[in-house]
Amino acid sequence: MYDRTVMSLRHILIALGDPLVSLQVAPNGLEVDVRDVVIMDPDDPPDVAVGDLALLIGARGRAALPLIRAAGRARAAAVAVKESTQALEQAAVDAGVALLEVRPEVRWAHLESLARGVLTTTTDDGEVLGDLFALAQTIATLTGGIVSIEDTASRVLAYSRSSDEVDELRRLSILGRQGPEPYLKMLREWGVYNLLRSSEEVVRIDERPELGIRRRIAVGIHAGSQPLGAIWVQEGDQPLTEQAERALLGAARVTAPHLIQQRNQPASRFRENLLAALLTGRMDAATVAGQIGADPSKPCAVVVFALRGGEGDRSEHELRRAEMTGLISVHAAAYRRSALVSESGGRTYVLLPDLAPNAQLLSLTKEIVTTARRHLHTSVQAAVGSAVSTLDDAQVSRQEAERVLDAMARDLDAEVATLADVRSQVLVSEILALLQDNPRIRDPRIDALDPELAKSLLAYLDALGDVRAAADRLHVHPNTLRYRLKRIDLDLDDPLVRLIAQLQLRMR
């Protein structure tokens, strides 16, 4: 069904941004919840509720004052006016409501449509699905350009924010107006629109300085043979990235379910559920393959990603993880149309079906991790499961990738690994998990050691019995270490006792 998610005012401003509105005052901060977009007309009784973003149409100057006060009494989140004044700003502060100023050339209907587009998303069991504005920002990150997503009528549905200078075509498109007619005519004559509707290839459009138009690339968005819209990427102050065209192909495939959602077809969540069902054994491989157009008899592999460094603000960590999943989705879709991506337990899972014998999964994964780390400014780790012979064995690849990622968590220096890279760590992790789950088989004498003795014993065992090397590591005299070891009630001449002690001590 269609529902409106609750979003912070900060999120709304990030999505809409400077091209349309600017923040004047926010007496309650930017984390206030926005629940709906409403129109306030000075000729009608105020109809505004808690959390509303109220658009003050037809009210300027002093005429807007009573509407701002009414919005404050109703505990609206924000009001938007075409022309802000000091009096309006003070009234907004007194009323406890944020005040936004809308650019004079922006049409109210266009602003309302875009704001509702940010708020309105398809939901399934109460979970909010993807956001076209966030997706546009992800595409901008991967291409290095300035992005707009349009429907088949060339209406802008979402766009990325940019500090680069935008050209006339993009500026007018965002404002809900048509671009320069000579340029649009040229695009029609070149067959650009026909190519976007009929082909899935990237279309290159040269710049036209005399019209104020910069270089672009574009790609059509399709559901089967049906066109849904297009993604346009304008080159900014810097050239587009080397992978821009490949990323744009993947972006079109990821965007398609979002546009389908606007046509009342909940496809995105369905694909996520497909992967979860396959990896947990709730759905057979043939059924999943039929849904995504894959060959169940061909090899596949599962790659698992995790965002590290989540000890800070939880909401910020969740936002970064969502951004990471968006980046992964675009890369995966560019690599394989039938790729599936899903989040579970704080991790992002990717299924790559229809693999060729020489599939370069490691290089693909390293590219994704490098991109994510560069743009998220935090550590990202990924484990590549071995390619298995058929889609039926996807769970085997998943389990292997999870084991590798568990082992990697102990070593934050490793960004990408396979089982061959961390086999020893995986084996030790499995044994430690067994000991953790079965305390009765552990040696109680080792568990009872105080922290100083435990640290000393582990250093001694790690140094293979070299007292001087262990003492140097502990920054103590060798005789001090010998004294500590004598206090431990264990037969350290027995190799099995030493092995058990070393394993148990690593659980601490």
Strand partners, 4: 120
Look at 92 and 281; give whichever has higher pLDDT.
92
With a cut of 60, say whether residue 2 has pLDDT above it: no
The CATH number of residue 43's host domain is: 3.40.1390.20
Residue where a domain stops, chosen among 120, 155, 188? 120
Q: Are residues 151 and 274 in the same domain?
A: no
Say yes or no: 187 and 211 in one domain.
yes
Looking at the structure, tell me whether residues 257 and 145 fall in a common domain: yes
Burial 195-226 (b: 16+ CB within 10 A, else e): bbbeeeebbebeebeebebbbbbbbbbbeeee
pLDDT confidence bin for 125, thresholds 50/70/90: very low
Query: Is residue 433 in a domain?
Result: no
pLDDT at 42: 78
pLDDT tens figures, 383-436:
999 999 999 999 999 999 999 998 888 765 789 999 998 898 888 888 888 888
* pLDDT at residue number 330: 87
Residue 493 domain-assigned?
yes
Please give the pLDDT value at position 264.
Answer: 42
pLDDT tens per residue, range 249-275: 888 888 887 776 655 444 556 677 788
Residue with tokens 């006060």: 69
Q: What is the pLDDT of residues 8-37, one digit of tens each?
A: 887 777 667 656 788 888 898 878 899 999
Indicate whether 400 belongs to any domain.
Answer: yes
Same domain, 180 and 199: yes
Interval 210-223 mean pLDDT: 85
Q: Which two tokens stand for residue 141?
A: 């990150």
**Does residue 348 lie within any of the structural domains?**
yes
Q: Give domain status of residue 432, yes or no.
A: no
Q: Assess contact for 259 and 231: CB atoms under 8 A.
A: no
Question: Does one domain contain both 192 and 140?
Answer: yes
Distance CA 266, CA 26 (A): 36
CA distances to 123, 249, 481, 483, 486 from 477, rounded to whole Å, are: 65, 63, 7, 10, 15
DSSP state of 442: S
Three-state secondary structure call for residue 38:
strand
| pLDDT value at residue 1 | 36
Q: Does residue 238 sit in the same domain as residue 379?
A: no
Task: Decide which of 238, 261, 284 is a domain's last residue.
Answer: 261
What is the phi/psi pair of residue 436, to 5°?
-65, -40
Whether residue 396 is contained in a domain is answered as yes
Same domain, residue pair 331 and 202: no
Whichever domain contains 294, its CATH number is 3.30.70.270
| Contact predicate 333/254, CB 8 Å | yes
Separation CA 299–CA 294 (nearest Å): 10
Residues 342 and 385 in one domain: yes
Which residues partner with 213 through β-bridges? 208
Which of the residue ranges 60-74, 203-217, 464-478 would you say has the lowest mean pLDDT?
203-217
Which DSSP helix (H) or strand (E) runs through 453? helix 451-462
Strand order across the 2-4 sheet: 2-4, 120-124, 127-128
pLDDT at 317: 73
Give the model confidence (pLDDT) of 357-373 as tens digits: 877 899 999 999 998 88
Final residue before a domain boundary, out of 404, 426, 448: 426
Whether residue 293 sits in one domain with residue 170: no
Q: Judge whether 324 lies within some domain.
A: yes
d(CA 37, CA 108): 12
Q: Are 397 and 389 in contact (CB under 8 A)?
A: no
- Tell me which DSSP letter residue 209 carries: G
pLDDT of residue 460: 92
Separation of alpha carbons 406 and 370, rounded Å? 20
The reply to whether 177 and 256 lie within a common domain is yes
Segment 261-270 long-range contacts (CB within 8 Å, at least 24 positions apart): 261/121, 261/122, 261/129, 262/157, 264/2, 266/122, 266/124, 266/129, 268/122, 268/129, 268/130, 269/122, 269/124, 269/127, 269/129
Q: Are residues 256 and 302 in the same domain?
A: no
The more confidently predicted of residues 211 and 203 is: 203
Q: Kindly report the backbone phi and psi dihedral angles of residue 306, in degrees, each rounded to the nearest multiple of 5, phi listed first.
A: -140, 140
Helix (H, G, I), strand (E, B) or coil at 360: coil
Q: pLDDT > 70: what percent of the chain?
A: 87
Of 21, 57, 36, residue with least CA distance to 118: 36
pLDDT value at position 262? 59
| Residue 152, domain CATH | 3.30.450.40
Contact 398, 276 (CB under 8 A): no
Q: 53, 46, 39, 57: which is closest to 4 by C-alpha?
A: 53
Q: Is residue 434 part of a domain?
A: no
Bridge partners of 99, per DSSP, are 25, 79
Q: What is the mean pLDDT of the chain?
A: 84
The average pLDDT across 336-341 equals: 89
Which residue in the block uniquely carries the two structure tokens 């001090």? 480
pLDDT, greater one: 453 or 45? 453
- Least confident residue range of 12-26, 210-224, 375-389, 444-458: 12-26
Query: Could you tell me the residue range of the domain that residue 392 belongs to?
Result: 268-426
283 and 378 fall within a common domain: yes
- pLDDT-derived band at 166 (thresholds 50, 70, 90) equals low
Exposed / middle / buried, residue 336 (Cβ in 10 Å: 0-12, 13-18, 19+)? buried
Nearest-angstrom CA–CA distance, 330 and 326: 6
Residues with Cβ within 8 Å of 305's Cβ and at least 6 positions away in sequence, in order, are 324, 328, 347, 348, 349, 350, 368, 369, 372, 380, 381, 382
Give the residue, 127 or 459, on which the prediction is more confident. 459
Q: How many domains does the chain have?
A: 4
Secondary structure of 268-328 in the HEC alphabet?
HHHHHHHHHHHHCCCCCHHHHHHHHCCCCCCCEEEEEEEECCCCCCHHHHHHHHHHHHHHH
